[in-house]
Amino acid sequence: MKLILVLLAGTLIAQARSMPEVMAAKEVISDGIAKSLICNGITFYSNKLYVSSERGLLEVEKGNFTKLLRWDKDDSNIEGPWTDTANGLLWVLLPSKRALSYFDGNEWQIVRLPKPRHGYISANDMWRGFRGVSGSNTFWLEGAGRAWTWNHSNGSAWVEEKFPTEFGVNLIPSPLLKRMIPCEGRIYYIVRDQKEPLAGMEELAQTFNVYDKLKGDTVYCRIGNSWICLTNYCTNFFSVETVEANKKGYVRTKAGDLLELSGKGIFKVAAPGLCEAIAKSSEGNLLASFRGMGIYELGNDWKRLLQSPYDDLEQRASIHVAVGQQGQIALTATLLGSAKANSKQWVFQGGNPEFRSRAPAKELENEVTRIWVSDGLRWTKVSIY
């Protein structure tokens, strides 16, 4: 009987820890918690917008900030979030716990990060970050040069994917898988250049033109039992963001270009400007935000849907875009310090390191993330502070 009580107590404790602390928006605004938060990512789930940050997970409903969720008050950084359409879940990464948490619409549950075959996830793997990728029938966690499928029917287990030697599967601790794009009938796998600079060294590498000397990323897809390397019809590239749209894969590169992946190869997409974020529209088309120009949708040609909601981002900014099932568009812009400052520092940004100017303390205190959601053909700013 005592053993049963102990086991039950342990289960209840585990469940309690899986449930985040919930702070009402009024409390968050009153405490000024959201004034200097940095957005790591955004997604829609059940007609609500979720924004991950180093202060926790923000929930926005009908254009209004409603609550903040925190799993660890001392280290409340959240990565993600990712919508799992295959299983009807919302996922976030809890870096401080080296765990993930998923929401089924009623309650949250915590699961451990998957364990690689060689036994551990390195600090550089955590620094490079993880990404949730959803297909119509499968949800993957991609990171540490690997990918795992979520098998909820098998005791909520992660199953590591097997890849060919071209993916650097024998490299310890991190193979070379960088991104994956599930499309109808095939999956595109982006493999990074083995000589690509380590996480946190990108800006230094750009200063010394290191990227110009590398071959860049390559893309593979599997047809039957064979792995095919796509022919690259553009210059070398380094992928930053990916999305599936119209049964094709799209890549936003470090240089701000857009690439299209298909069975015919890799082609550069003619675009109206410098691309800063991409997503899939409610119509299934490619949606892109171009710096200072607005949100565009790619059909037979580019069509502008919304103007840029910001007009004062001369400083470097990190942009995220998400689209809801009913066509609502959300955009976040995080100012990353003053471009005029001379000294610089590293910050952890959306699973990837960002190199930013170190502004005076007073200016950094005012650094903010701004959130907008679309209302027809206009933007509505979400008040978070």
**Top-level CATH class of 113-308?**
mainly beta
pTM attached to this predicted model: 0.86
Give the Cα separation of 159 and 148 in Å (integer): 5
What pLDDT is recorded for position 227? 94
The pLDDT averaged over each successive group of 10 residues in the chain (385 residues) is 38 53 94 86 97 96 96 93 97 95 96 88 88 95 94 78 87 85 94 73 59 81 91 94 96 96 96 96 96 95 95 75 95 69 35 38 55 94 91
Contacts of 362 (CB under 8 A, 6+ apart): none
The pLDDT tens digits of the residues spanning 21-37 come to 999 999 999 888 888 78
Q: Which two tokens stand for residue 238?
A: 């380094």
User: Helix, strand, or coil here: 269?
Assistant: coil
pLDDT score, position 119: 82
Contacts of the segment 168-173: beta carbons below 8 A, 24+ positions apart:
168/194, 171/145, 172/118, 173/116, 173/118, 173/120, 173/121, 173/122, 173/124, 173/125, 173/144
Annotated domain spans of the chain: 19-73+316-385, 113-308
